[in-house]
Each structure stands twice: as structure tokens, then as C-alpha cells.
């Protein structure tokens, strides 16, 4: 199987997406989930003509006159009097504007006369009334299907009485780490070992998408053991991610194990850096990624290929934030036979610069990385001041 372009890999992955269906959850637990059904309002908003300032509700034509005060209307109280000629009601912000009034002038623009009446002292006032239904009308759609639910969307659902909401089911993702050299983070590694960072990085990336990750642990460089764990992961997952064991070394046999597990491999090498040995296949139960063992490679390929796939499966049209910014200094590379993704950080001046990056094993470089910049095949250099498209993470 030959090497393919990143664009071909992306198209292959996205064309393999399937819908995972939905479930109904309390709206308070829907943050970062994807709406399966649109949300409509069960009420007008505001539900009544609402005062937007503390002041006096009156008829605009009476602003030049002394006004009798009928009552005080706090928020949450229904007015008991209708405002007529040369009358007003003192009213608080958020309260119901009484019948007959079409203007609320602010307390700061008023004075009480010696007769106990109130008089407008300003030269002009807005109505200071938010009319019933001017924001939302009953039956209006307030959130559309496919929305990635944000904190402000929680407030909207609370406002329109959507106590339970239909969202896409969480995608079940199995994460497997492969390699004899790996130990868990709680262990002190010997000179020939390294701590397993990939699995926990991926679990965090999965959690950020609103999916449900399950860590299956470290599998040693043993083909039968890898096959056993892979079959277990396939049984109850929508997607499986294996890191490590996908390159060309003597102990990198994940692609062959995938084939033994009846996974049809659609590609096993991508003309991209970092992440050339990224592998992708389909099984009757799940989709499967074999990601490189180098942590920067697995991080970047998750962002470029896995995250868009997950959102598509959950019904969300994912569009990462991409902004045109100037490069602060020259960046160059020797080989340009692959598309390159360069980690960059933003500067106080509002431009970007490459982070200190020693290759796909340099996980610490990601700590100060704000985004990625793509270099197309054949492009060796980005000049100082050149405008680049920054894909923010």
C-alpha cells in the first residue's frame, strides 16, 4: 500500500464516518455535547414589557408635567394600577411596565416636587422598555441541530424551559498504547524505558470533544497479546486508537494485527510531517486509527484527522479557528517532500513564531504551542513577515 497525500487521508477518514445516534440528558449535563434536535422556546422573551432602568413609568406626552405617583413596582410584582394622564408608577429594573405607560425615565433624571409629585428633569429620554417578544417569540428556534453546546447555550436552554435536551450519544473510544519501552506515569522509568504520555494526552483530547474514552493499558510488543487486546477493544467501541507499532521497525506489527482482526486498512502512510506512519482502517464494529508513538505526531494527527471525524459522527460541522497572521521570523526546513505542520505560538505583537521544536518526540514544545501552520509539499521556507494561516488548537 503506497503513501497518500494528507488531503486524500482526510477525505478517506471523513467519508468513513457513521452516525452514533442520540440520547436525552438533563440540560445541565450537556456541556460540550452536540445537539441532536433543535431547541425551541416555549415563551416570549421578554415575557412582558420590561423596564430596563430604575425610574418612573409614564406617558411620553406627560414628560413635561408634574406626575402623581400611583405605586412602586418591584421586579416580580404585577402592577395594580393603569397609568393615565399626569400619572406615573415608580418602577425597578426588570419589572413589568404598567398599562398606559410607554416610557420609563431614569431616577437620575427626576426630582420630587414640594407637592410630593415627580418631575422629569432631563432634556431627552429613551423609552427604556424592552417589549414583549422582541428577543424571542414563543416557538422560535433558539439553538439548531448540530450545535456544539457552550456555557451560553446552557443559559439559553434554561431561559426557554428546555430542562432535558436531545444530544448525540458519546462516541465510545478505546485507547491502547503499544511498546515494550513504556511504563505508566506513576513508575520511575529505568534507562531503557519512557513514561507513557500518549494515552493520557489522547484521553484528554477525547474528553475535550465530548466523547467517552476508555484506556486499555499498555500492550507489549507481542503480536498475539496485541491481537487479543485489539479484539476486546473492538467489541464495545465505536473507534479504537492504537499508538505505537505502526512504523517500519522489526517490532512494529500493528498494521498486520489490524488485518488479522478483520480490519480493512484504507491507508498506512501519509505524506505529512509529523505523522507519516498514521494508519486508518474500518471494522464492522468500529473505525480504527494506528497513530505514531511519538507524542507530537499522535497529538497533531488527532487534531487533524480524529477530532474532525468525531464531530462529524456526532453531527457537528467542525470548523477550527484559522486566522491569517504574520510570521515573526524566518522558518526553513531541509526536506519538503511532505506536508509539514509547524507548531507556533502567538506573540505580544500579534504575530506568530515557531516554537523551539526538536522533532516529533519533543512533547514539551506543545506546552507553549497555540496553533499549527501548514507548509505544502515543495515549500522549504516561510519568510519573515509572510502571512500564514494559523490553525488554532
> How far is Cα 102 from Cα 89, in angstroms, rounded to an integer?
12
Give dist(CA 272, CA 4) in Å, integer: 9
- 10 occurs within a structural domain: yes
From residue 369, alpha-carbon distances to 196, 297, 363, 388 in Å are 21, 14, 10, 15
Q: Compute the average pLDDT of residues 178-204.
A: 87
- The domain boundary residue, chosen from 313, 333, 356: 313
Average pLDDT over residues 267-280: 93
One domain, residues 235 and 359: no
Residue 180 pLDDT level (bands cut at 50, 70, 90): confident
Residue 47, CA atoms < 13 Å, CB-side half-sphere? 10
Over residues 288-312, mean pLDDT = 94
Give the pLDDT mean for 127-155.
97
Number of domains in the chain: 4
Counting Cα atoms < 13 Å in the Cβ hemisphere of 109 gives 19
Residue 138 lies in a domain: no
Q: Are residues 213 and 309 in the same domain?
A: yes
Whole-angstrom distance, CA of residue 195 vs CA of residue 292? 16
Q: Do residues 70 and 38 both lie within one domain?
A: no
Q: Is the pLDDT of residue 234 over 60?
A: yes
| Same structural domain, 285 and 339 | no
Q: Who has greater pLDDT, 244 or 362? A: 244
C-alpha cell at 158: 434554561
| pLDDT (0 to 100) of residue 251 | 44
Q: Which residue has the higher pLDDT, 192 or 289?
A: 289
Residue 137 included in any domain: no
Alpha helices in the chain (DSSP H): 6-15, 151-159, 198-208, 223-235, 254-260, 295-301, 307-313
Q: Are 216 and 196 in contact (CB under 8 A)?
A: no
> Do 176 and 303 fall within a single domain?
yes
Residues 254, 123 share a domain = no
User: So what's the pLDDT on residue 329?
Assistant: 92
Q: What is the pLDDT of residues 20-79, one digit of tens each?
A: 999 999 999 999 999 999 999 999 999 999 999 999 999 999 999 999 999 999 999 999
Per-residue pLDDT at 204 exceeds 60: yes
Domain assignment present for residue 214? The answer is yes
**Which of 266, 289, 313 is the C-terminal boundary of a domain?**
313
Q: Is the pLDDT of residue 217 over 80?
A: yes
pLDDT band at 304 (very low <50, low <70, confident <90, very high): very high
**Percent of the chain that is helix, strand, coil (3-state, to 5):** 20, 30, 45
Mean pLDDT along residues 345-355: 92
Task: Indicate if the pLDDT at residue 148 is higher than 60.
Answer: yes
Does 271 lie in the same domain as 192?
Answer: yes
Considering only residues 179 and 126, tell me which one the structure prediction assigns the higher pLDDT. 126
| 135 inside domain | no
Judgement on whether residues 347 and 371 belong to the same structural domain of the protein: yes
pLDDT, mean of residues 83-90: 98
Residue 112 pLDDT greater than 70, yes or no? yes
On whether both 238 and 331 belong to a single domain, the answer is no
Confidence tier at 311 by pLDDT (50, 70, 90): very high
Question: In the predicted model, what is the mean pLDDT of the chain?
Answer: 93
Residues with Cβ < 8 Å from 9, sequence gap 6 or more?
A: 267, 270, 272, 278, 280, 305
Residue 82 forms part of a structural domain = yes
- Rounded distance between C-alpha atoms, residue 57 and residue 99, angstroms: 10
pLDDT of residue 246: 59
Domain that holds residue 93: 50-130
Q: Which of 165-169, 251-255, 272-276 has the lowest mean pLDDT?
A: 251-255
Domain with 344 in it: what CATH number?
2.40.340.10
- Determine the length of the chain: 393
Question: CATH number, domain at 71?
Answer: 2.170.190.11
Residue 247's SS3 state is coil
CA angle 163, 133, 145 (to 5 degrees): 45
The verdict on residue 136 lying in a domain is no
Structural domain includes residue 342 = yes
160 and 90 within one domain: no
CB atoms within 10 A of CB 297: 26
DSSP state, residue 334? S
**Pair 306, 223 in one domain:** yes
Question: What percent of the chain shows pLDDT beyond 70?
Answer: 96
Q: Which three cell numbers stand for residue 22?
A: 442520540
Q: Three-class SS of residue 217? A: strand
Amino acid at each position: 500500500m503506497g503513501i497518500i497525500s494528507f488531503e486524500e487521508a482526510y477525505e478517506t477518514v471523513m467519508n468513513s464516518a457513521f452516525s452514533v445516534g442520540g440520547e436525552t440528558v438533563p440540560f445541565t449535563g450537556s456541556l460540550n455535547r452536540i445537539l441532536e434536535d433543535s431547541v425551541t422556546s416555549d415563551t416570549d422573551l421578554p415575557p412582558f414589557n420590561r423596564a430596563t432602568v430604575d425610574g418612573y413609568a409614564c406617558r411620553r406626552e406627560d414628560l413635561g408635567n408634574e406626575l402623581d405617583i400611583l405605586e412602586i413596582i418591584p421586579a416580580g410584582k404585577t402592577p395594580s394600577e393603569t397609568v393615565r394622564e399626569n400619572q406615573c408608577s415608580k418602577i425597578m429594573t426588570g419589572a413589568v411596565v404598567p398599562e398606559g405607560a410607554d416610557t420609563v425615565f431614569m431616577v437620575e433624571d427626576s426630582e420630587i416636587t414640594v407637592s410630593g409629585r415627580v418631575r422629569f428633569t432631563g432634556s431627552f429620554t429613551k423609552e427604556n422598555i424592552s417589549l414583549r417578544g422582541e428577543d424571542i417569540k414563543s416557538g422560535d428556534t433558539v439553538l439548531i441541530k448540530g450545535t456544539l453546546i457552550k456555557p451560553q447555550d446552557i443559559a439559553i436552554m434554561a431561559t426557554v424551559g428546555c430542562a432535558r435536551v436531545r444530544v448525540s450519544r458519546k462516541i465510545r473510544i478505546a485507547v491502547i498504547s503499544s511498546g515494550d519501552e513504556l511504563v505508566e506515569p506513576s513508575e520511575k522509568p529505568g534507562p531503557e524505558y519512557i513514561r507513557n504520555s500518549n494515552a493520557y494526552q489522547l484521553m484528554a483530547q477525547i474528553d475535550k470533544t465530548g466523547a467517552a474514552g476508555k484506556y486499555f493499558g499498555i500492550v507489549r510488543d507481542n503480536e498475539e497479546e496485541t491481537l487479543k487486546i485489539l479484539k476486546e477493544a473492538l467489541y464495545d467501541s465505536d473507534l479504537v486508537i492504537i499508538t505505537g507499532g505502526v512504523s517500519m521497525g522489526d517490532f512494529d506489527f500493528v498494521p498486520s494485527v489490524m488485518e488479522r482482526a478483520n480490519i480493512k486498512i484504507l491507508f498506512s502512510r501519509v505524506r505529512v510531517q509529523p505523522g507519516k506512519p498514521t494508519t486508518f482502517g474500518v471494522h464492522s464494529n468500529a473505525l480504527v486509527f494506528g497513530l505514531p508513538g511519538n507524542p507530537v505526531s499522535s497529538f497533531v494527527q488527532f487534531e487533524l484527522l480524529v477530532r474532525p471525524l468525531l464531530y462529524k459522527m456526532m453531527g457537528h460541522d467542525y470548523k477550527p479557528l484559522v486566522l491569517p497572521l504574520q510570521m515573526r521570523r524566518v522558518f526553513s526546513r531541509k526536506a519538503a517532500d511532505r506536508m509539514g505542520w509547524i507548531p507556533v505560538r502567538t506573540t505580544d505583537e500579534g504575530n506568530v513564531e515557531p516554537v523551539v521544536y526538536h522533532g516529533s518526540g519533543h512533547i514539551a514544545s506543545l506546552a507553549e504551542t497555540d496553533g499549527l501552520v501548514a507548509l505544502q509539499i515543495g515549500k522549504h521556507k516561510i519568510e519573515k513577515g509572510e502571512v500564514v494561516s494559523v490553525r488554532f488548537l
